[in-house]
Amino acid sequence: MTTVKEIIAEMGGASPEDIAFVEKAYEYSKKAHEGQKRYSGEPYFTHAAATAKILAEYGMDATTIAAGLLHDAVEDGRVSREEMEKEFGKELLFIVDGVTKLGTHKYRGAERHAESLRRLLVATASDIRVLIVKLADRKHNMQTLEHVPEHKRRRIALETLEIYAPIADRLGMGKMKNNLEDLAFPFVDPDAAAHAAEVRKLKTQETEGGLAQVQKELKKELAKKGLTKFRSDIRMKGLWSLQKKLERKDDDINRIHDIAALRIIVPTIEDCYTALGMVHALYKPLPGEFKDYIAFPKPNGYQSLHTTVVTPEAGIVEIQIRSEEMHRRAQFGIASHMTYKQLGKGVEKLGKEVQKSRFSAISFSWVRSLIPSLMKVSKKEGGVKGVTKVPPWLFELAEAHSDVAGSEEFVEGLKEDFFSHRVFVFTPQGDVIDLPAESTPIDFAYAIHSDLGDHLQGAKVNGKLVSFDTKLGNGEVVEITRRDSAHPSPKWLEIARTSLARRHIRAALGMTTETSRPPRHQRRLFKKKHPPV
């Protein structure tokens, strides 16, 4: 069982108040889960404590760590939301609420992929920490998946591979992504996982000795250039990413050069290029294999120099060079941002150069980069043949923010965008309908079906009757009642927000529709197929 001391030990530089807050949450959660057991037979609280420790390792703030401790307490009805707010504050309750909301939606396979993803984003829109708690929760659940009944394992593992790992990747949380993938892979496809493990083992045995020699040689040369403050290690490729590469390279191991890569971590950016020059002076680089992710970071913010060289000792070897700060960020991604925002003091130590570069690369491009992976999944799984279910708002968001820079803007932008431009509401069946902000029950009804709009009689939001001009809010459940004798009134034209609804209303009222045009995102997406009416 994870002790509170172990959690606190990971909270470097935490204030006495923060420590007291986490200690209180620890004791509170322990009590709340008393008598409850996991599938493994262990006390349920072990899960809460383990989740909190993962969050502490990622450098999250005290509120998030405490939320990790309490993330399942409300769902089980052991603690009321009122009590939790009273004891731990609004902020913590908000995070726990978000995590609980995410938990109620089960992943139902590839055709629901986009929808699940949307739900994730809806719940996280206002506070990315919700998603980070969920990732930590998922990591511990994957570590203990063997105890879960067999018929559930594959679904959970697949969900991890297709939803959570890609999101960890987009958030730049490389370590989390690799952990999740490698924990899930054997449950999704045991044979392929065994094969990949075998390939990796063989290749490692082959190159181990040689790599150690190359490492030694490089150390010597770097020292000659006055570079003594660096470390190097050998990083093994994750099994799932090896599997994907094997697929791309027709299962030809000889075409994969980065199963084991040599990693050099130096203090500054200048040192990175010095080290690179030295590596290329020592070993011949393979043409076309050099990548400068420092000057051109990956969409999720990843930075490093990658080069592939021919060594006499170990044959073809990939060498990755990065600064300490880049290394930290490659592992913790957006979580490292949350930390520094909280600690404040730590930022000065890192130096201005780092601060500036840290988030300019991330911006909204991760949303954009989500699109191809969505397409891949829906094609591969054959969910809907030939049709990719990428929601239009995702395109729009990705496009609108291709050049947003800066750390504050990242989090603020996430908040603003999801809330100011789109609103996500649920049908009573749990399907998500996305609408422009300020949409009303009329827009909702027409978004579902024109017949429902044309015969809209009444609307309920979260079970309560509302007027037609009510502005819908994120996450609300909207229910429409239909009646044959109900018909649109001219007043609806002023209330409706979407042009889809207005077009139908005009038609139902016998008005001409020459001025109606689809909303902006639909114009762009459907230009060729559906010219404006």
* Contact window for Mn ion (CB under 5 A) among 16-24, 131-139, 462-470, 492-500: 131-139
Residues 68-107 that bind Mn ion (CB under 5 A): 72
Q: How far is the CB of 5 from Mn ion (least distance, A)?
A: 22
Q: Which is nearer to Mn ion, 135 or 305 (CB)?
A: 135
Q: How far is the CB of 51 from Mn ion (least distance, A)?
A: 6
Q: Which residue has the tokens 């405490």?
A: 66
DSSP state letter for 268: S
* Contact window for Mn ion (CB under 5 A) among 4-12, 20-28, 134-142, 315-323: 134-142
Q: How far is the CB of 131 from Mn ion (least distance, A)?
A: 14
* Contact window for Mn ion (CB under 5 A) among 15-23, 136-144, 277-285, 373-381: 136-144
Of the residues 137, 162, 181, 479, which one makes contact with Mn ion according to CB under 5 A = 137
Q: Which is nearer to Mn ion, 141 or 307 (CB)?
A: 141
CA dist list (Å): 266 to 137, 175, 304, 401? 33, 19, 11, 33
Residues 184-243 that bind Mn ion (CB under 5 A): none
Q: How far is the CB of 46 from Mn ion (least distance, A)?
A: 11
Distance, CA of 296 to CA of 365 (rounded, Å): 13
Catalytic status, residue 76: yes
Distance, CA of 106 to CA of 104 (rounded, Å): 6
DSSP state letter for 232: E
Task: Decide if 127 contacts 98 (C-beta within 8 A).
Answer: yes
Q: How far is the CB of 72 from Mn ion (least distance, A)?
A: 5
- Reduce the DSSP state of residue 456 to 3 states and report it: strand
From 57, 75, 324, 434, the catalytic residue: 75
* Contact window for Mn ion (CB under 5 A) among 3-11, 66-74, 82-90, 241-249: 66-74
- Reduce the DSSP state of residue 118 to 3 states and report it: helix
318 binds Mn ion (CB under 5 A): no
Distance, CA of 176 to CA of 28 (rounded, Å): 28
Q: Which is nearer to Mn ion, 119 or 521 (CB)?
A: 119
Q: Which is nearer to Mn ion, 140 or 237 (CB)?
A: 140
Q: Which is nearer to Mn ion, 76 or 353 (CB)?
A: 76
Region at 460 (left for phi over 0; alpha for psi -120 to 50; beta for the rest): beta
* Contact window for Mn ion (CB under 5 A) among 130-138, 289-297, 302-310, 520-528: 130-138
Written in H, E and C, the secondary structure of 169-212 is: HHCCCHHHHHHHHHHHHHHHCHHHHHHHHHHHHHHHHHHHHHHH
Q: Which is nearer to Mn ion, 100 or 126 (CB)?
A: 100
User: How many amino acids of this chain bind Mn ion (CB under 5 A)?
Assistant: 2
Residues 6 or more apart whose CB falls under 8 angstroms from that of 338 comprise 59, 60, 61, 64, 128, 129, 132
From 76, 208, 233, 438, the catalytic residue: 76
CA dist list (Å): 494 to 31, 445, 455, 466, 513? 54, 16, 18, 17, 15
Burial class (CB in 10 A: 0-12, 13-18, 19+), 355: middle
Q: Which is nearer to Mn ion, 75 or 83 (CB)?
A: 75
* Contact window for Mn ion (CB under 5 A) among 64-72, 291-299, 472-480, 515-523: 64-72
Q: How far is the CB of 137 from Mn ion (least distance, A)?
A: 4
The site string for Mn ion over 283-302 (x = CB under 5 A, - otherwise) reads --------------------
- Reduce the DSSP state of residue 487 to 3 states and report it: coil
In sequence order, what DSSP letters do the residues of 280-321 get, joined into one string? HHHSEEPTT--EETTTS--TT----EEEEEEETTTEEEEEEE
Q: What share of the chain is helix, strand, coil (3-state, %, to 5)?
A: 60, 10, 30
DSSP state letter for 486: -
User: Which residue has its beta carbon closest to Mn ion?
Assistant: 137
Q: How far is the CB of 121 from Mn ion (least distance, A)?
A: 20
Residues 424-443 that bind Mn ion (CB under 5 A): none
Q: Which is nearer to Mn ion, 137 or 258 (CB)?
A: 137
Q: How far is the CB of 449 from Mn ion (least distance, A)?
A: 37
* Contact window for Mn ion (CB under 5 A) among 65-73, 276-284, 315-323, 466-474: 65-73
Q: How far is the CB of 176 from Mn ion (least distance, A)?
A: 16
| E strand residue ranges, 445-533 | 456-461, 464-466, 478-482
Q: Which is nearer to Mn ion, 36 or 489 (CB)?
A: 36
Q: Please enumerate, as own/partner, the contacts of 322-327 that have beta carbons within 8 Å and a separation of 24 or more.
A: 322/263, 322/264, 322/265, 322/266, 322/272, 322/294, 323/265, 323/266, 323/267, 323/268, 323/269, 323/271, 323/272, 324/265, 324/266, 324/267, 325/350, 325/354, 325/358, 326/294, 327/265
Of the candidates 433, 436, 438, 437, which has an alpha carbon nearest to the alpha carbon of residue 478? Answer: 433
Q: Which is nearer to Mn ion, 127 or 137 (CB)?
A: 137
DSSP state letter for 344: -
Q: How far is the CB of 192 from Mn ion (least distance, A)?
A: 28
Contact set with Mn ion (CB under 5 A): 72, 137
Residues forming the active site: 75-76
